[in-house]
Amino acid sequence: MQRLAARTRYGLSEVIRHDVVIVGGGAAGLRAAIAAVEASPNISVAMVSKVYPMRSHTVSAEGGAAAVAREDDSFEMHGYDTVKGSDFLGDQDVIQYFVEEAPKELTLMDHWGCPWSRNEDGSVATRAFGGMSTKRTWYAADKVGFHMLHTLFQHSMRFDRIVRYDEQFVTKLLVDGGAIRGVVALDVREGVVRTILGRAVILATGGAGKIFPFTTNGNIKTGDGMSLAYREGVALKDMEFVQYHPTGLPGTGILITEATRGEGGYVVNSDGERFLVTRDYGVGTKAELGPRDMISRAIVMEIEAGRGFKGPYGEYVHLDLTHLGEQKISTRLPMVRELAKTYIGVDPVVQPIPIRPVVHYMMGGVDTDIDGATVIPGLYAAGEVACVSLNGANRLGSNSLTECLVFGARAGTKAVEFAAGSNDGSEAVLRRMGEEEAARIEALRGKKKGGEKLARIRRELNQTMESGCGVYREQASMDETVRSVARLKGRYADLALEDTSSVFNTELVVALELGNMLDVAEALAVSAAHRKESRGAHTRKDFQTRDDQNYLYHTICHFDPAGPRLGKKAVTLGTWEPEERKY
Amino acid sequence: MSDQDRKKFVITRFDPDRDDEPRKQTYEVPVEPYWKVLDALNFIKDEIDPTLSHRWSCRMAVCGSCGMLVNGKPSLTCKDALSDYGDTIEVEPLSNFPVIRDLVIDLDGFMEKLHGVRPWIIRAKQRAAEEGTYRQSPEELEQFRQFSMCINCMLCYAACPVVANEPAFIGPAAIALGHRYNLDSRDEGNAERNGIFRGEGTVFSCSYANECSEVCPKHVDPAAAVNQAKINAVIDWAASFVVPRGGGE
């Protein structure tokens, strides 16, 4: 690492050079960083994250990570489950690569210290999960994301060549001469804008749940990486597919893991009926272990039919674990017990937990190929920010933690290969681009001109996303959301800010994040409004069936100042031809 | 809104761009019955004063971002219910840390301390992925599991009387995490970490006040880790005179 200029405050930016720049320090980013330094003995990696890595949202994942581990399982079974779960929109070459790499990645997690729960003989334990045909979800009680994140982060600390830039918020990708050249980042703490150059850049910034009002996602999930790539001409793919997790706590949206059902929990309506067993919601004998899209729809239908419970934070149904007993709940699901007690005042050992569907995960994201590569040479993406087309129209629970590892590692390796054959670009040009970005940020800080309040625009964005792009969708409300988001983008230009400080100015960060959220919301709403069929998590009241004739393709959404442009990308089929998705 | 639905928040403010000293600012907030302390701070940020700076993310007590002093006690603000407090609530940045701004503390010192205990699996020879997972019995897992629960929220450092007097003290969380690897059957780094623990400003600086374990929101019991680490560091040192010491146990 060389420092090319003395540090200055906003306006003039410090320039630093590494070989590979990784944006985001969650599971995908950390795995990519480790893969990169292992791929070459000389390479230096910048890990630039807007939070300290151990605060990344991977930490909130609970239930587990999927990989074939048992004698009664096979890559074919994991592959077919994933393809079917995706409602045949997953790319089958990607899925095949994923299932074959998955066991190796979770084994490495073991070698690096992840405290996997164990069988009596010392082998790694696996549990049942929704849409998975056998027990293949590895777990560490119900704190799997937490343990994986801390394991990866602590393991990453052994490599001096991973240089962290903590609490530095990337606001722009530097693209020049037809290739990626680095990023511009605001050092939140020092108020400095840095130009961090690298021959390859990997986006690993996670999802964008915060564009919705009711989400399991943490405050930091504002779609930053999606917006960064979108603004540079990379398409966002399959953005209409938003996963609602069936079991969130009413009010807060805090996640209650699917492992509750994997361990045998029941979902029950106000008549005390296990409606996933007694009524036909397409989950067949899987009942509570059906895929998330189907169970979320079933819960909404039950509530609409008047069989929900009414509470201070809206209607809900029950997740009943009482029959599992205290021993099992305390050992397998200790976090669920703690969360239910702390955040809704219910001890699941003796009372059912109130739950309702909640926005959880973006199947869509930055369009990449199987290497995590985007159309910009040297720019990669992995994890939830990316759409490598593993998850198609609906992700299976416990595939995403593994996805972060498999495709984080691949992106890390490929980025190093790319960097070796690329060049540094023109430093003078990049320095100027960095300075322009620094000036843009400076103009926004404490900007007095304008009449719009940050919190108000964000609230209205949340409302319109929920009303147009919820569990059930129809044309008129989606079109209205498209128009509302466009209006909000206009109003965003008229923001008034109050905080003029250069030090830890979180109002400035929130304003920049809101800009990203608006980009992602725009792509999402436009993509959703165009797809006139029901597939996976995209469920329409006005087009209730899947239409392979006309819609068996990935939606591609390009940024354009005049409004987003849509296109199509072929789905890679293979072993499995599309068939009716019924369990 | 009735009177009992409002609470007064006395918040420490400090902006190095304009303040020489921290100051107190009071906000009146209409509160909901189910709110945590963090919900009130977010309300202030969104609706009253957007210049307030605090860290938060997961709001489910696992990311460790939102530790602060609430009425003088280290608290994870997304976990502590407002209903447990009176009508006036004082919120300050965690003690024993440099303050960057308002309620935001400087964590870099901790990051160095954490790095210092070698919080990763140390082996004479790295195992290859093809060799499969280690065998680790549920009992072996149980040896260290509790100490692996640390979310790095820094409440224990704010509570620790030794950190208060001796800022270089490596502190409860870092020791618990180093000790966690020492207890892991997959690890062979005991000798190296025990050497570190025998150094200045580590386990033997602990006065065993137990404050760290009392404030830990995840029941990690760092005080127990520090105590065990002391004993192991001594045994390891004594044993080094008797038998040549290889890797781990």
Domain that holds residue A325: 247-357
| Cα distance between residue A28 and residue A554, in whole Å | 23
Q: How many CB atoms lie within 10 A of CB A495?
A: 18
Q: Would you call A261 a catalytic residue per the annotation?
A: yes
A259 belongs to a structural domain: yes
The region that residue A538 occupies, defined by phi over 0 for left and psi between -120 and 50 for alpha, beta otherwise, is: beta
C-alpha distances in Å from residue A254, one per residue of A426, B7, B41, B83, B205: 47, 25, 19, 20, 40
CA distance to partner chain A, nearest, from residue B17 (Å)? 6
| Cα distance between residue A52 and residue B105, in whole Å | 13
| Cα distance between residue B87 and residue B96, in whole Å | 27
Cβ–Cβ gap B118/A158 under 8 Å: yes
- How many residue pairs from chains A and B have C-beta atoms closer than 8 A? 159
A124 belongs to a structural domain: no
CATH of the domain at A542: 1.20.58.100
For residue A7, is pLDDT > 60? no
pLDDT of residue A2: 37
Same domain, residue pair A351 and A442:
no
pLDDT band at A10 (very low <50, low <70, confident <90, very high): very low
Mean confidence (pLDDT) of chain A: 96
pLDDT digit string (tens) for B81-119?
999 999 999 999 999 999 999 999 999 999 999 999 999
A581 belongs to a structural domain: no
Q: Would you call A245 a catalytic residue per the annotation?
A: yes
Dihedral pair phi/psi, residue B238, rounded to 5°: -65, -45
Mean pLDDT of the A540-564 span = 97
Partner residue facing B62 (CB), from A60, A252, A454: A60
CATH domain B108-242 topology: Fumarate Reductase Iron-sulfur Protein; Chain B, domain 2 (1.10.1060)
Query: Where do the CATH 3.10.20.30 domains begin and end in chain B?
Result: 3-105
> Among candidates B96, B107, B17, B104, which has minimal Cα distance to B54?
B104
Partner residue facing A55 (CB), from B51, B63, B114: B63
A-chain CB neighbours of B62 within 8 Å are 59-60, 143, 146, 335
Query: Do A260 and A247 meet the contact criterion of CB atoms below 8 Å apart?
Result: yes
| Cα distance between residue A362 and residue A96, in whole Å | 21
For residue A298, is pLDDT > 70? yes
Nearest CA in chain B to A340: B60
Same domain, residue pair A537 and A444:
yes
| Cα distance between residue B122 and residue B125, in whole Å | 9
A538 belongs to a structural domain: yes
CA distance to partner chain B, nearest, from residue A266 (Å)? 23
The one catalytic residue in A194, A261, A395, A445 is A261
C-alpha distances in Å from residue A87, one per residue of A5, A294, A469, A578: 52, 11, 19, 8
How many CA atoms within 13 Å lie on the side-chain side of B91? 34
Partner residue facing A113 (CB), from B55, B121, B140: B121
A-chain CB neighbours of B63 within 8 Å are 54-57, 59-60, 218
Which residues lie across from A243 on neighbouring strands? A361
Domain B3-105 has CATH 3.10.20.30: yes
Q: Which amino acid is at A180?
A: I
Query: Do A558 and A565 meet the contact criterion of CB atoms below 8 Å apart?
Result: yes
Maximum alpha-carbon separation in chain B: 74
For residue B223, is pLDDT > 50? yes
B-chain CB neighbours of A255 within 8 Å are 60
| Report field, pTM of the whole predicted structure over 0.95 | yes
Cβ–Cβ gap A60/B47 under 8 Å: no
Q: Which amino acid is at A207?
A: G
| Cα distance between residue A416 and residue B49, in whole Å | 45
Partner residue facing B186 (CB), from A113, A158, A312: A113
A-chain CB neighbours of B59 within 8 Å are 218-219, 252, 254
Number of domains in chain A: 2
The residue among B84, B100, B133 with the most chain A CBs within 10 A of its CB, best to mutate, is B133
A137 belongs to a structural domain: no
Which residues lie across from A381 on neighbouring strands? A203
pLDDT digit string (tens) for B37-56?
999 999 999 999 999 999 99
pLDDT of residue A450: 86
For residue A316, is pLDDT > 60? yes
Query: Do A137 and A128 meet the contact criterion of CB atoms below 8 Å apart?
Result: yes
CATH of the domain at A276: 3.90.700.10
Q: Which two tokens stand for residue A47?
A: 């890990």
- Residue finishing a domain among A330, A357, A384: A357
| Cα distance between residue A323 and residue B190, in whole Å | 43
Rounded to two decimals, the ipTM of the complex is: 0.95
Query: Do A543 and A211 meet the contact criterion of CB atoms below 8 Å apart?
Result: no
CB-based burial label for B22 (10 Å; 0-12, 13-18, 19+): middle
The one catalytic residue in A245, A332, A395, A431 is A245
pLDDT digit string (tens) for A210-250?
999 999 999 999 999 999 999 999 999 999 999 999 999 99
Q: How many CB atoms lie within 10 A of CB A177?
A: 11
B-chain CB neighbours of A157 within 8 Å are 114-115, 119-120
Query: Where do the CATH 1.10.1060.10 domains begin and end in chain B?
Result: 108-242
Same domain, residue pair A348 and A444:
no
C-alpha distances in Å from residue B60, one per residue of A70, A91, A335, B77: 33, 34, 10, 10
Helix (H, G, I), strand (E, B) or coil at B214: helix
- Residue finishing a domain among A332, A357, A382: A357
- Residue finishing a domain among A318, A337, A357: A357
> Among candidates A395, A359, A376, A367, which has minimal Cα distance to A555?
A367
| Cα distance between residue A470 and residue A468, in whole Å | 6
Cβ–Cβ gap A121/B51 under 8 Å: no
